[in-house]
Copies of this chain bind each other. A is one copy, B any other.
Amino acid sequence: MVRVGIIGATGYAGGELVRLLLGHKDVDIKWYGSRSYVDQAYASVYQNMFQLVDAKCLDDNMEAMADQVDVIFTATPQGLCASLVNEEILKKVKIIDLSADFRIKDVSVYEKWYGIEHKAPQYIEEAVYGLCEVNREKVKKARLVANPGCYPTCSFLSVYPCVKEGLIDPNTIIIDAKSGTSGAGRGAKVDNLFCEVNENIKAYGVAGHRHTPEIEEQLGYAAGEPVLINFTPHLVPMQRGILVTVYASLKKDVTYEEVKAVYDKYYNDEFFVRVLNKDVCPQTRWVEGSNFVDVNFKIDPRTKRIIMMGAMDNLVKGAAGQAVQNMNLMFGFEEAEGLRMAPVFP
């Protein structure tokens, strides 16, 4: 059994990690870290775990945790993981960081977009960007995995084949993304109250959202050149789910079949990426509660653009599920272990 510690176990992503790991046959959760709820029963905070989890919440002491577990998940705001990690710890445990601390290779880009100083830049180079479908082999050997952001995961997987194969001009990419409200976290803010979110849709972070450079960096690797894009997230009155609608100019005339072949080339062997049938649009409801990403595309011959779409559960493939997928790779388990559940509908 792999012994697991979680820092930030009472956030939405942390709670989802608990749910998924409870269903993983090779895992034993040893440490439910939650600074806000220390000494309270975990199941009193997340009552769905009543009679399933007996433990109390503990603090965020990563050093103490490192002596008791094999892997630590940090499901906390940016800055915390970088401020806690050190060589002593990394010699004892593997770390899967769900925050943005180790996702961006250029520390100045990180510091500019996140507005904080990076406390552990010495580990940025080593950290592996944990997009399993792309970096599988590197993840297997990693000590420190930077679990990708929710929007970047869905955005990147939706366009990756087209960029990699040079079908589109990457600098024409416009990503219009829509997310459920769990992505905004469990903090008590007026903006996230039911009466403020319900019956409403809005854009936010327009031309300035922090996931932009993360997406651009990964697209740049695929394109083989620097890429600048537009990325606009929107808040949707639903709990879970991300949908991205991506627009880009085609470099040349292509048929549906040609593009489909490109998607199949990259995703035919990927269990968690489902290329839908022709003319079927991805919908968040069809992936809810699961680790799947559904993708598809539509060519518009009138404008010579292609519209690429992807749908995903932001808390699963966009956070906790991908983290478990990374853990499976790092510990030699089957990649889908604990993640085979079908989407829940309705």
**Interface, chain A (partner B; CB < 8 A):** 12, 15, 18-19, 22-23, 44, 46-52, 171, 174, 176, 178, 180-182, 186-190, 192-204, 206-207, 228-230, 232, 234, 236-241, 243, 245, 247, 274, 276-277, 280-290, 294, 298-300, 302-303, 305, 307, 309, 311, 340-346
Contacts and interface: CB of A to CB of B under 8 A. Distances in A.
Contacts of A50: 274, 276, 286, 294
A243 B203 contact: yes
24 contacts: A19-B342, A47-B280, A47-B294, A171-B303, A181-B194, A182-B346, A186-B195, A188-B189, A188-B190, A192-B194, A194-B197, A195-B239, A199-B240, A200-B238, A201-B238, A201-B283, A202-B243, A202-B311, A203-B245, A203-B282, A206-B281, A207-B302, A289-B289, A344-B344
A260 to B, nearest CB: 15
Nearest to A304: B228
Given A186-B193, A287-B48, A288-B199, A206 B342 contact: no
A193 B200 contact: no
Nearest to A271: B51
A307 B52 CA distance: 26
Contacts of A243: 201-203, 234
Nearest to A212: B302
A240 B303 CA distance: 30
Contacts of A203: 243, 245, 281-282, 307, 309
A200 B289 contact: no
Contacts of A311: 202
Nearest to A193: B192
A47 to B, nearest CB: 4
Nearest to A204: B281
A290 B48 CA distance: 9
| A47, A206, A283, A303 — most chain B CB neighbours (10 Å) | A47
A72 B23 CA distance: 28
